[in-house]
Structure 1
Amino acid sequence: MATCPLIVVGSGGFSKDVVWAVHNHNAVHAAYELLGFCDDDRAKKGQLIAGYPVLGTPEEVAATAPQTPCFLCSIGDNSARARVVERVLSLGWTPVTIIDPSVMIADEVEIGLGTYVGARAIISPKARIGNHVIINNHTTIGHDCVVADFAQVSPGARVSGFSVLEEGALLGANAVIAQGRKLGRYGTLGACSFGMIDIPEGATATGIPARVTFRR
């Protein structure tokens, strides 16, 4: 069976989680030939990360790749990920969604392109997850939730039913957003916080219960 030549875009710490999920996925269904990483940091070129080489910038990889690769962007900063994905898409690369085989996904769930879903995540009925989202390990996405493009749910976080994470929103590690609440566009609910209020666009909220502590 043919496999897709896969490039992981970005070679920071989170890229190792992506490699792990790819290995787990391939152990069940061999879908990807992992070629390595691309990164704008020229000092990293030639380094091995999780056993795979950093091949250069996206443009350098595009110029030398024998065929057009598929990709997943592992850049943890949501704004930076959005910018880099736009750039990589302009090269004609195909985004793929990587879901660890341990993930539990209910019926009537939508998951977009270029999204990562890590080990032991649970996604409940009628949840809608956008493109290039990071759903990290041991997270829960409640029923009827919306997690928009470029959002991120950090390890151990909980998204309660009917809540909304808008584009680029960041739910910190072990944070919980209460049922029906909204985390605004590129807003942040800090680690271990409990969000009982709607958090505005670009704002950061922390604490139990969370209060807005910073606004752009």
Structure 2
Amino acid sequence: MRDRSVIIGAGTQGQIYASYLLEAGIDIVGFIDDNPSLFGKKVVGVPVIGCYSDLFTSRFKENIQAVYCPIGDNHIRVEYLTELHKEGYKIPSFIHPSVSIGPDVTLGKAIYMLVGNIVMPHTTLGNYIMINQASTIAHHVIVEDGTFMSSGVNVGAGIRVCEKTYIGMGVTVMTGVKSLGKNCLLGAGSVIIKDVPENAVMVGNPGRVLKYQKNDYNVQCKP
């Protein structure tokens, strides 16, 4: 019997994943979304069946086995999936069949990868990672938990992408860079030629520090 699954977030990312998950034959019974105006409605043909707090109720636990959370905010995605896994839900990965993954790549849990990505050998992907389409990760790279990569990203060889890094569309990280610091953000189109500090927002070609983000996130998971 297939697991009855839900997708958290009925926005554009959730809609995209709904299309691919349904195409893959996964039993998606509904969206979970905290926008009350969506309750009882269908989004891309999938009903919105409740809000996040509902997932902690016995009614949902008895009828839902698996949760997907393709939310682009790294902090929310990690917190939600961590908490729901503790609650007993399965948190499967979804990797589109077009993705090319080297034979000895190490994969964590709850990894979401869309069309046309390439991951070269001797690379490690952690947990709760999202990678949009047509991105390339070279060999001997370590991608830590909760990272997001947008479309058309190119990450060179031997780089450590630290926890909750956010990499914008079309970013290139050159081989020779050693690390992208925890919770950093790389703006769209940036070319990164040196190590990125923790919490830094980098933009431009070559990439430069624009500012530093606050690291004071306090996501409330349970109702």
- TM-score with structure 2 setting the length: 0.88
Q: Does structure 1 residue 162 correspond to structure 2 residue 158?
A: yes
Q: Does structure 1 residue 43 correspond to structure 2 residue 37?
A: yes
CA displacement, residues 83-105 of structure 1 (integer Å, 9 cap, x when unaligned): 22233224221110001111111
CA displacement, residues 177-212 of structure 1 (integer Å, 9 cap, x when unaligned): 111421111101110010111111111100001001
What is the alpha-carbon distance in structure 2 between the residues aligned to residue 180 and residue 96 of structure 1? 33
Q: Does structure 1 residue 129 correspond to structure 2 residue 125?
A: yes
- What amino acid is the match of 2:58? A
Seen in structure 2, the aligned counterparts of structure 1 residues 21 and 141 have a Cα distance that, compared at 3 Å, is farther
- Any idea what SS the aligned residue of 2:63 has? coil
CA displacement, residues 138-194 of structure 1 (integer Å, 9 cap, x when unaligned): 111111111111101101111111112111001110001111421111101110010
From 164, 180, 184, the equivalent of 2:181 is 184
CA displacement, residues 106-152 of structure 1 (integer Å, 9 cap, x when unaligned): 11011211110101111111111111100111111111111111101
Contact 1:8 / 1:71 at 8 angstroms: preserved in 2? Answer: yes
Q: Does structure 1 residue 8 correspond to structure 2 residue 4?
A: no
Aligned residue for 1:17? 16
Contact 2:71 / 2:77 at 8 angstroms: preserved in 1? Answer: yes
- What amino acid is the match of 2:93? T
- How large is the Cα RMSD of the aligned pairs? 1.5
From 144, 153, 167, the equivalent of 1:171 is 167
| Stretches of structure 2 lacking an aligned partner (at least 5 in a row) | 214-223
Contact 2:176 / 2:194 at 8 angstroms: preserved in 1? Answer: no
| Stretches of structure 1 lacking an aligned partner (at least 5 in a row) | 27-31
Seen in structure 2, the aligned counterparts of structure 1 residues 67 and 123 have a Cα distance that, compared at 3 Å, is same
How many positions carry a matched residue from both structures?
Answer: 210
Aligned residue for 1:33? 27
From 136, 141, 146, the equivalent of 1:145 is 141
Aligned residue for 1:120? 116
Aligned residue for 1:206? 203
- Any idea what SS the aligned residue of 1:85 has? helix
Contact 2:3 / 2:64 at 8 angstroms: preserved in 1? Answer: no
- Any idea what SS the aligned residue of 1:81 has? helix
What is the alpha-carbon distance in structure 1 between the residues aligned to residue 48 and residue 10 of structure 2? 7
Aligned residue for 1:29? none
TM-fit CA distance, 1:23: 3.0
- TM-score with structure 1 setting the length: 0.91
TM-fit CA distance, 1:7: 1.1
- Any idea what SS the aligned residue of 2:188 has? coil
CA displacement, residues 21-66 of structure 1 (integer Å, 9 cap, x when unaligned): 213433xxxxx21111112222221222221111112332443234
